[in-house]
Amino acid sequence: MSRIRSTLFNLYWAGWTALFLVPLVVLAALGSPTGPIRAATRLWSRGILFGLAHIVRLTYVEETRARIPAEPCLIVANHQSAWETLAFLTLVPNVAIVAKRELVAIPIVGWFLRRSPMIIIDRANGTQALRVMIDESRAALAQGRSVLMFPEGTRNAITDPVQFKRGVELLYAKLGVPVLPVAVNSGLFWPHGGSRHHPGAVTVSYLPPLPPGLSGAAFMEGTQGAIDAELDRWRLAKVPH
Calpha distance 10→96 (Å, rounded):
26
pLDDT band of residue 240 (cuts 50, 70, 90) is very low
Task: With beta carbons less than 8 A apart as the criterion, state whether 184 and 78 touch.
Answer: yes
In the structure, what pLDDT confidence band is assigned to residue 122 with cuts at 50, 70 and 90?
A: confident
Residue 232 φ then ψ, to 5°: -60, -25
Amino acid (one-letter) located at 185:
N
Q: pLDDT-derived band of residue 3, with 50, 70 and 90 as boundaries?
A: confident
More confident residue, 3 or 42: 42
User: Average pLDDT in the 55-73 region?
Assistant: 97
Per-residue pLDDT band at 62 (split at 50, 70, 90): very high
Instruction: Look at residue 118 in the predicted model and tell me its pLDDT.
Output: 93
Domains and CATH numbers, the chain: 2-231 (3.40.1130)
Asked if pLDDT for residue 5 goes beyond 90, the answer is yes
What are residue 205's phi and psi, to 5 degrees? -110, 115
* Residues 237/94, Cβ–Cβ less than 8 Å: no
* Model pLDDT for residues 91-112, shown as the tens digit of each residue: 998 999 998 888 888 899 999 9
Whole-number pLDDT of residue 59: 98
Residue 239 CA to chain centroid, in angstroms? Answer: 21
